[in-house]
Amino acid sequence: MAKLYFYYASMNAGKSSTLLQADFNYRERGMRTMLWTARLDTRSEGMVRSRIGLEADAHHYVPETDLYAAVMAAHRIEPVDCVLIDEAQFLTREQVWQCARLADQEGIPIVCYGLRTDFQGELFPGSAALLGIADKLVELKGVCHCGRKATMNLRVDASGAAVREGEQTEVGGNDRYVALCRRHFSEAIGLPK
């Protein structure tokens, strides 16, 4: 029975490289995968890219994309053995349910990778839906500068100062975000002790 998986972590924990390793493993065994990433992340240019230099072509999704219909259209031409979705925090609730339908009704494993929370410690809509209905939740471990597990994503400005307000989504990498443990995140944004 196929399942819906959600691999989640802070920034810089290896989500995209883990996705690309899974893609490689399927393809090495002669199986067909379908990779997706959010069009919102303009850095990707039609690719899933990891910070360690691995990359692969991917389809883009936007909030209006019907993932069930798109995957099934490809599956009818040539069977899809697994769907791998990067930046899954940007999925809509409806898209997460489309992924569940692909696993439940069509028998296609769906493996999602994304952030759990934003720079204010709030759940992303896609992550909230995945945490609620995924068959399997897997936390990938990032590391804070203190050596503890990084679970939070601190947004910083050009001078490295913590940003406390703004839109939930702002695309960026190491220039805009720092993965921290909860303690150092709380200190950086000035939460009461």
How many CB atoms sit inside 10 A of residue 59's CB?
Answer: 17
Q: Which of 45, 55, 78, 87 is catalytic?
A: 87
Report the interhelical angle of 93-106 vs 125-133 (nearest 10°).
30
E strands of 116-165, at which residues? 136-139, 142-143, 149-150, 152-155
The answer to whether residue 87 is catalytic is yes
Residue of 122, 95, 117, 103 whose CA lies nearest to 39 = 95
Catalytic residues: 87
